[in-house]
Amino acid sequence: MATISKSKIDKAGELLSCDAMENVEKYIEAEDVFNSYRSAHLAPLMQTTILLQKWMDKSGKGYYIAMRLKRRPQILRKLKRFHVRLSQLQDIAGARIILERNHDVEEIVDYLRSSFKTQSDIRLLRDVDYRVRGRDDSGYRARHIVLQNGGYKIELQLRSRIQHYWAETVERTSVVYGHFLKELQGDPCVLEYFKQLSDVLYEFEAGRQPTYPQRIRLDRLYSKALAIIQTSDTRNVLVSHPDLNVLKTLTEVSSRKKKSGIANWILIFDWKTGDFVNWLAASDDSQEAIALYAQNEKDYLSEDGFEVVLVGASDPTTIEKTHSHYFGIESYDGVLKNLDETIDSLQRVAALTIDQRRILSALYTRKFWGSRTMAIATLKNHFCTGISDFESVLDSLVRKQLVTRPSSVGPVSLNVDSKAEIDSLMV
């Protein structure tokens, strides 16, 4: 891509983020500049994600990793909200790593810092920790590291599973509520509920119990927030369900050879119905992938209730974990929970480690039940790469009677007698 000056990039962002389109030719030119600038982030993002994945495979930690290019509507809203220039944004390209515990985040950051020193392509520019206090405005918790690769900034988010649970609950609620809660849209009571929930979950993660006043306050906020959200659900989006056809299609595509090690997908989601409109395999070539992305953004407009997102991962089951809010909202109970229900959900999540869940998900999404078996070598080397102690993790699932294995050499399948339990764990 030819180099575009910062002033031209910023002018394009300013024009596109305005509500009025005064000059059609200038608007089209601004779109071209915007698309070219955003597309230039994809190749360094893929390179960085592949390198991070290789390092994580050697870390001995259970993890999920995925990447995404920020959606155009999100970018333009951010430019308006914060009055910043397009060239100043640090999160157009983003990668996300989810780890078991908050303490794992600490260890992995130290590990990655050391790893970055061994190469020259990627530089660490900034490290911001939102985990202890949380963001004052929303309660969001994570560790953010801003990297630079080839002159382009990449934001790496590191979260524990509890921090990710909170963030995905916010996203899931936004689907029904019709407001972008993470951008502080919506009723103050709903925003305060999530801020207080974040504080209470932090207490649990730190090994402490929330105080009685905290519990009472949170449950009162829950009742008020739930009533507000139920009233606001004018689009009746609660017909959504986990669309396993999406995962099945993406899984079939991912089984083909990937040149890069990261497969790109474009998901088109309809907020009005809570369902996928389409899911497309995008090219490993960054220019081809971004062209398809931009075209679908034009075809499916955000103002009409659509969301088009380009995500990448080595396995599509990872996307179900890193972006779970796309994969099912069945009732209001799935949107907000009181404290006891939240704890129950977290305990269900904690019933499996990330590595155990990766193995189960690999078998589950591919429907290997009972007599339909998979070779252990195939499971290990093609669908569950990077699990440092694969045999031990698989043994633990056999002991839990979730996976059947006739002998130590396999093959393996999901235990049909434990189907109800497995179904509940995979939700």
For the chain, give every domain's residue range: 244-331, 352-426
The pTM (predicted TM-score) of the whole model is 0.80
Please give the distance of CA 197 from its chain centroid, rounded to a whole number. Answer: 20
Exposed e or buried b for every residue in 301-325, given b needs 16+ CB within 10 A?
ebeeebbbbbbbbbbbbbbbbbbbb
pLDDT attached to residue 329: 44
Tell me, what's the pLDDT at 404?
Answer: 96
What pLDDT does residue 145 have? 96
Extract the residue ranges of the chain whose pLDDT is less than 50.
237-242, 257, 329-335
- What count of other Cβ atoms lies within 10 Å of the Cβ of residue 193? 27
C-beta separation of 99 from 61 below 8 A: yes
As a whole number of angstroms, the distance between CA 421 and CA 140 comes to: 31
Structure tokens at 281: 């395999």
252-294 pLDDT tens trace? 655 554 555 788 888 888 877 667 788 888 887 888 888 899 8
Q: Which residue has the tokens 């994600």?
A: 49
Separation of first and last alpha carbons in the chain? 42
Closest residue by Cα to residue 254 from 375, 359, 362, 355: 362
How far apart CA 195 and CA 288 sit, in angstroms, is 40
**pLDDT score for 52:** 94
Q: Can you read off the two tokens belonging to residue 57?
A: 């495979």
Q: What is residue 116's predicted lDDT score, i.e. its pLDDT?
A: 93
Fold of 352-426: Arc Repressor Mutant, subunit A (1.10.10)
Who contacts 86 (Cβ-Cβ below 8 Å, separation ≥6)?
9, 10, 12, 13, 14, 34, 37, 75, 79
Contact present, 63 and 98 (Cβ < 8 Å): yes
